[in-house]
Amino acid sequence: KKKKKKKGDEDLLSSDPDPVVVVEQEPEPEPAPEPPPVPVPEVPAVDPFAGLSKSQRKKLEKKLKEDAAAKEKEDAAAKEKEDAELKKLEE
């Protein structure tokens, strides 16, 4: 079904909008420099183990530990490669 337009709706749409009034604003004083943010340790928003059985939890913990170990190895390898490249550039 199509909605019937009310008489008041047409008047609202066709009426000219109010003229825009430009108000000169004073320049805002510069805010004081903020201290550097303190690094906050990241806390998982959701418990990854919520609702899991004991066996599922153990499997997930093992997988997460393996993933973390693999990531550490990758990071170490990338750092070694980067250090080697920097050393080459220095020579």
3-state SS, residue 89: helix
Only one residue has tokens 């008041």, namely: 8
Residue 62 lies in a domain: yes
Residue 39 lies in a domain: no
Residue 56 lies in a domain: yes
pTM of the full structure: 0.42
Dist CA 54 CA 82 (whole Å): 42
Residue 82 lies in a domain: yes
pLDDT higher than 80, residue 44: no
Range list of H helices, 24-53: none
- Which residue segment(s) compose the domain that 64 sits in? 52-91
Number of domains in the chain: 1
Residue 41 lies in a domain: no
Reported as a single tens digit per residue, the pLDDT across 47-74 is 778 888 999 999 999 999 999 999 999 9
Residue 84 lies in a domain: yes
Dist CA 54 CA 42 (whole Å): 25
Percent of the chain with pLDDT over 90: 34
